Amino acid sequence: GGQEAGTAVADILFGDYNPSGRLPITFYKSIDQLPGFEDYSMKGRTYRYMTETPLYPFGYGLSYTNFAYQNAKLSSGRIAKDQSVTLTFDIANTGKMDGDEVAQVYIKNPNDPEGPVKALKAFVRVHVKAGDSQEVNIELTPEAFHSFNDNTQTMEVRSGKYQILYGGSSDDKTLQKLEVTIE
């Protein structure tokens, strides 16, 4: 950490700096949540295929303030396979300290039973002063809705309803959702 590592840790512990980093992996509660060593399938591995509750989910992080996601809407509830859709929401800082929030957007594709439970498709870091709110606009291109077709060995957009999940981590309990239909 270098000669200033202790100062940096002290700044965080005493509240002089508000941390906003996020976990790049999932922390399991125990090895019992992991599939067997000889099991090469993805089932139960990473946030994308895990159905149990982890100790710390992918994208989790701590802060000295709290954030609320409000007023979410999509630019359209129905789109064609080659169209983009824009997700708009407000992030309100409901705490007493300025801070950064990392808003994360996941896609859940119920039309792909062999695919991931959900997949991270976009994220943005937003600085919000205490008591204020910030509007966030995230464009989801057709590639965000891609899934793998085993028959053709290609990525494609399938027709049907998709869930757009958004929040501060991949934790299902905290994610909010909207639906879009792709025709």
pLDDT score for 130 = 96
Cβ neighbourhood burial of 72 (10 Å; 0-12, 13-18, 19+)? middle
In tens, the pLDDT along 29-73 reads: 988 888 887 877 778 778 888 888 999 999 999 999 999 999 999
* Chain segment 68-126, per-residue pLDDT in tens: 999 999 999 999 999 999 999 999 999 999 999 999 999 999 888 888 999 999 999 99
Three-state DSSP class for 34? coil
Q: Which domain holds residue 163?
A: 5-182
Domain count across the chain: 1
d(CA 145, CA 14): 43
Q: What is the pLDDT of residue 168?
A: 95
Check residue 136 and give its pLDDT. 97
- For residue 150, give the CATH number of its domain: 2.60.40.10
Q: Which of 108, 86, 106, 88 has its CA nearest to residue 158?
A: 108
Token reading at 170: 């991949």
**96-106: pLDDT as tens digits:** 999 999 999 99
